[in-house]
């Protein structure tokens, strides 16, 4: 099971990223646990410049934007 973290304060973009990430994992047939991280100290530990951020298996793969489902599926498959 892959582990994805959505980094951000819970804004509309953070919620949209969560939706896109869930759909991408489901579309790829990959089982993924999605965790929302809203604590700023925890977010800053990932050296994130702007939210929302996406972390897959403890690696920051996206920040400051909402990646496409295709991008997320590619990252999950890697």
Give the pTM: 0.94
Give tens-digit pLDDT for 6-20.
Answer: 999 999 999 999 999
Residue written as token pair 């925890």: 42
Give tens-digit pLDDT for 43-67.
Answer: 999 989 899 999 999 999 999 999 9
> What domains, with CATH codes, occur in the chain?
2-77 (3.40.30.10)
Helices and strands of the chain, counted as H and E runs: 3, 4
* pLDDT of residue 76 exceeding 90: yes
Q: What amino acid positions are annotated as catalytic residues?
A: 11, 14
Contact 60, 53 (CB under 8 A): yes
The average pLDDT across 37-48 equals: 93
Looking at residue 5, its pLDDT comes to 98
């Amino acid at each position: 099971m892959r582990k994805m973290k959505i980094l951000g304060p819970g804004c509309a973009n953070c919620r949209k990223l969560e939706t896109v990430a869930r759909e991408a994992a489901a579309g790829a047939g990959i089982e993924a646990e999605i965790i929302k991280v809203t604590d700023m100290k925890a977010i800053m530990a990932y050296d994130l410049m702007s939210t929302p951020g996406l972390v897959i298996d403890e690696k920051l793969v996206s920040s400051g934007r909402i990646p496409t489902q295709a991008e997320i599926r590619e990252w999950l498959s890697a």
